[in-house]
């Protein structure tokens, strides 16, 4: 048992507010939430007692869309037009990746997730075995997203991965999916729809990220990507759509009806000049909204505080309404909304039996003072200096600036730097 005491707790259970209580974890789960009796305290053997010193314990953040291994492209290809970025920098460099490189580059990304209080990533990339090794080795949770593209022959790969990675490790799951409409044949997308029905499983993909993508899809199919996916039965058992910058009212009705989460990636949408998604309309339609960083090539940070801040302020300027998209709805998206979009039903709130995926927010920093409103402080002025401790599945992976991830940080940095320098020379 690990005991968190002497602080406050934000359970993220609706209308629960900030509570003054303790949280105990047992193995990978939360075992107790409340004010213990003296007898309970005396009878319990704690492996560790963590004095919150007045700080706040809350559910960790969930990064609902990313490509973790793209850390190698950080600051490598910025400030250039999008087509040059993609065709001259990203694609040629990605072709040089292999298992070992993906392993170390993912390791680097996980360190950064932990510094921003994030314990799970919904990741779409290649070299899945290496990626899984990096996550499991770090103690970090991940949901793999199918990333097939091309012709229908790739569907069997998706089915194989679905069977291979689900149930392999408690930290790992796999959601059916494909890259995007514009990189897949209709036959492949239909085949993923068939698999969704066969396994009664949700599916996820990039969708409606750019206006160009939507226009081209309408040109090909006389339907938006959302309408097309729905018509192919891909959303019959729910799912998640990454980006959703350019949706119609009908698209939003489909997402709501089919129980598909919209994963908002505000920093990436700015940097790649994709636009600003209409979160207010999504919220009004009752769609579950989650938050993602996207990959480091298009962000460049992997920082959930940045995404939270952008989510609310961009809605204000887009809607010319300073009251749009309030802090509570943003914090929900970064935690509960993310868990829902990633189908991590036990990782959403602080309650007995839930996974112990937790973060301690340091309130004794100037940006958290005065304490007029803790939720607003976190969303509007919070940053990574406020992450005191990050716990995933009951294990402390990051605390007071130090990492506990089974590899030395300096080794990870050195590997990442030597990999990028090799790749530049190849």
* Nearer to a second copy among residue 131 and residue 235 (C-beta): 131
Cross-strand bridge partners of residue 32: 24
H or E segment at 229?
A: helix 225-231
Length of the chain: 426
* Nearer to a second copy among residue 50 and residue 375 (C-beta): 375
Name 128's Cβ contacts closer than 8 Å, sequence gap at least 6: 144, 161, 165
Which tokens belong to 9? Answer: 């707790």
CB of residue 289 to a second copy, shortest distance in Å: 16
CB of residue 273 to a second copy, shortest distance in Å: 5
Identify the residue whose tokens are 């919150």.
52
* Nearer to a second copy among residue 128 and residue 379 (C-beta): 379
Identify the residue whose tokens are 């003296």.
38
* Nearer to a second copy among residue 239 and residue 292 (C-beta): 292
CB of residue 357 to a second copy, shortest distance in Å: 19
What is the rounded distance in angstroms from the CA atom of residue 344 to the CA atom of residue 368? Answer: 30
What is the rounded distance in angstroms from the CA atom of residue 101 to the CA atom of residue 97? Answer: 6
CB of residue 322 to a second copy, shortest distance in Å: 5
Contact status, residue 351 vs residue 13, Cβ threshold 8 Å:
yes
* Nearer to a second copy among residue 114 and residue 158 (C-beta): 114
* Nearer to a second copy among residue 283 and residue 355 (C-beta): 283
CB of residue 307 to a second copy, shortest distance in Å: 12
Direct distance between the N- and C-terminal alpha carbons of the chain, in angstroms, rounded to an integer? 50
Q: 61-66 and 141-145 as β-strands: parallel, antiparallel, unpaired?
A: unpaired
Is the bond preceding 104 in cis, omega lying within 30 degrees of 0? no
CB of residue 5 to a second copy, shortest distance in Å: 20
What is the rounded distance in angstroms from the CA atom of residue 418 to the CA atom of residue 223? Answer: 46
CB of residue 197 to a second copy, shortest distance in Å: 39
Burial class (CB in 10 A: 0-12, 13-18, 19+), 83: exposed
Which tokens belong to 392? Answer: 């995933």
Contact status, residue 281 vs residue 321, Cβ threshold 8 Å:
no
Q: 22-26 and 2-5 as β-strands: parallel, antiparallel, unpaired?
A: antiparallel
CB of residue 377 to a second copy, shortest distance in Å: 5
* Nearer to a second copy among residue 31 and residue 82 (C-beta): 82
* Nearer to a second copy among residue 244 and residue 356 (C-beta): 244
* Nearer to a second copy among residue 127 and residue 300 (C-beta): 300
CB of residue 248 to a second copy, shortest distance in Å: 21
Name 363's Cβ contacts closer than 8 Å, sequence gap at least 6: 54, 55, 56, 369, 371, 374, 377, 386
């Amino acid at each position: 048992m690990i005991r968190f005491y002497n602080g406050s707790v934000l359970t993220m259970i609706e209308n629960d507010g900030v509570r003054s209580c303790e949280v105990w974890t047992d193995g990978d789960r939360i075992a107790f939430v409340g004010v213990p009796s003296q007898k309970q305290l005396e009878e319990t053997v704690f492996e560790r007692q963590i004095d919150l010193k007045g700080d706040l314990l809350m559910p960790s953040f969930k990064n609902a869309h990313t490509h973790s291994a793209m850390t190698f492209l950080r600051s490598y290809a910025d400030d250039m037009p999008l087509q040059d970025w993609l065709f001259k920098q990203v694609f040629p460099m990605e072709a040089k990746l292999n298992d070992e490189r993906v392993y170390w580059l993912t390791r680097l990304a996980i360190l950064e997730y932990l510094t921003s209080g994030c314990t799970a990533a919904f990741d779409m990339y290649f070299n899945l075995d290496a990626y899984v090794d990096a996550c499991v080795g770090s103690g970090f949770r991940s949901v793999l997203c199918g990333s097939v593209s091309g012709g229908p022959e790739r569907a069997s790969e998706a089915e194989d991965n679905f069977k291979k990675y689900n149930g392999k490790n408690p930290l790992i799951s796999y959601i059916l999916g494909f890259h995007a409409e514009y990189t897949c044949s209709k036959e492949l997308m239909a085949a993923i729809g068939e698999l969704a029905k066969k396994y009664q499983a949700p599916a996820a993909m990039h969708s409606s990220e750019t206006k160009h993508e939507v226009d081209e899809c309408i040109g090909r199919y006389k339907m938006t990507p959302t309408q097309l996916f729905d018509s192919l039965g891909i959303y019959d058992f729910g799912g998640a759509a990454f980006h959703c910058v350019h949706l119609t009212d009908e698209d939003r009705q489909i997402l709501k009806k089919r129980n598909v989460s919209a994963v908002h990636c505000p920093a990436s949408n700015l940097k790649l000049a994709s636009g600003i998604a209409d979160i207010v309309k999504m919220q009004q339609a009752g769609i579950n909204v989650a938050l993602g960083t996207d990959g480091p090539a298009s962000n460049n940070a992997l920082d959930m505080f940045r995404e939270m801040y952008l989510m609310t302020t961009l809605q204000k300027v887009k809607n010319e309404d300073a009251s749009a998209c309030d802090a509570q709805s943003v914090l929900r998206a970064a935690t509960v909304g993310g868990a829902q979009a990633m189908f991590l039903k036990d990782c959403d709130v602080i309650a007995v039996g839930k996974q112990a995926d937790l973060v301690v927010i340091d309130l004794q920093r100037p940006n958290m003072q005065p304490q007029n409103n803790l939720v607003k402080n976190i969303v509007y002025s919070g940053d990574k200096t406020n992450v005191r401790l990050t716990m995933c599945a009951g294990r402390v992976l990051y605390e007071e600036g130090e990492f506990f991830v089974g590899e030395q940080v300096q080794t990870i940095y050195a590997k990442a730097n030597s990999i990028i320098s090799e790749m530049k020379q190849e």
